[in-house]
Amino acid sequence: MTTIKLHNTRTRTKEEFVPIKRDDVRMYVCGPTVYDRAHLGNARPVVVFDVLYRLLRHVYGADHVTYVRNFTDVDDKINARAAESGRPIGDITAETTQWFLDDMGALGALEPDHMPRATEYIPQMVAMIESLIAKGHAYAAEGHVLFAVDSWKEHYGKLSGRSVDDMIAGARVEVAPYKKNPMDFVLWKPSTPDLPGWDSPWGRGRPGWHIECSAMSYELLGESFDIHGGGNDLMFPHHENEIAQSCCAHPEGRFANVWLHNEMLQVEGKKMSKSLGNFFTVRDLLDQGIPGEVIRFVFLSTHYRKPMDWTEKKALEARQTLKAWYRGTDGVVASNNAPQDIVELLANDLNTAGAISEMHGMANRDEWSDLKASMQLLGLADSEHIEWFREDMNMASFNDLPDAGQKLWTLLGQWQSLRNARNYSEADQLKERIEACGLKLSVGVAGPEATKTEAFDPAKLEALK
């Protein structure tokens, strides 16, 4: 069996991945707060952990991997959006949740096995908070419940590599009279009548952000599971607080054995920011005509633990590369499995950039079946399902002449094969016959292309042998 090695943030080393149970591999990834469209940075962890999900399914079997990614659908940002728009909160979260799924689907991301919504797990959160109070790790004050960091001081900060004293000295934390320690964080907070709220032993209120993931992961994956992932901006305080809550509520477990964090995204070398005019949602790019496969390819071209720079040049280059790969793999039957070299590269801490490099070599060697299988493993859809590819290859102009378009597609493939075999004499003869039908042939970065002239005669093309 393939050995997977992953860089564990907790230990700061690359380790051999050994699941708790080989027939039950479990992964939890922090999902979005659903109040608006997902921006480009939100999409990076989705693609990163989608690749890991695909790799785990490839190695352990699809029936033996469980992937959970949550939706935070109770949050002050959602409340603010509802107040601004006058729309019901439920309508906003339902709409934006579907937006997220549609946009991530356009990037080729598989849907996780479970996609819990925070509002569906309020009773479980209340129960976990009650357990933390009973064990001396939390306390109620003025309608709030707070986690007492001092109760777990010797462990708190291990993931992010910070000590509690250093964090207190340099932290920007809410100073509130009901806090025993400035670092104590909210598990439950009161709700005013105009805000969402649920009955609890501490009055009508709503959960703090951090408790959501602890409660949902416990309910769906248990007190110990294999992998927890997310962007490195979540390492502190969110993931640090998750560990504290979960390990104190369920000391019999380890919570997550392996922690993976992806680096952040830039645009044209700068931090993405609305003030800089370089802020894009995924939907913005899709609506601009940048295909989801191209966005995914750009993401995959940089290792997940390195900062990724989105540039217009990279998107153009990715489109040309994919067009060439789709041209070569169109109609080709994929190998039964992706080549082991590709699997090993992905198994080496998700080295997608190395896999892309190896796939370039496959294309240069005309290893189209292996390339197609590799693309499938990386979540790049088959050419048969890519409309923009056929449009780029000038096939859209033949939509009203499907028979002629299919015939031309076949002939261009033959012409390309003759050229690849260096049989230039026959290739030139075939080119002359095709162009005699009123077409102009050329070879672009992605392979042969055909353009109609005024003399185009589809009947001649269909009759061509």
> Annotated binding site: which residue ranges?
30, 213, 238, 242, 274
DSSP characters over 250-276? -TTS-EEEEEEEEPPEEETTEE--GGG
Q: Which of 28, 65, 64, 70 is closest to 49 using CA atoms?
A: 28
The token pair that represents 176 in the structure block: 């509130």
The token pair that represents 121 in the structure block: 């797990």
The C-alpha atoms of residue 418 and residue 434 are separated, in whole angstroms, by: 14
Q: Cα angle vertex 422, ends 416, 425, to 5°?
A: 90
Under 8 Å between Cβ of 408 and 448: no
Q: Which of 426, 420, 320 is closest to 365 using CA atoms?
A: 420
Q: Which helix (H) or strand (E) holds 449?
A: strand 447-452
One-letter amino acid identity for 281? T
What does residue 451 show for φ and ψ, rounded to 5 degrees?
-125, 135
Instruction: Give the residue numbers of the binding site for ATP.
Output: 274
Report the greatest alpha carbon distance in the chain: 87
Instruction: Give the residue numbers of the binding site for Zn(2+).
Output: 30, 213, 238, 242
The token pair that represents 270 in the structure block: 């700068």
First and final C-alpha spacing in the chain: 49
Q: Cα 268 vs. chain centroid, distance in angstroms?
A: 21
| Location of structure tokens 């799924």 | 101
The C-alpha atoms of residue 167 and residue 98 are separated, in whole angstroms, by: 38
DSSP β-bridge partners for residue 395: none
Q: Which of 425, 346, 45, 66 is closest to 217 using CA atoms?
A: 66
**453 contacts: CB under 8 Å, gap ≥ 6:** 438, 439, 440
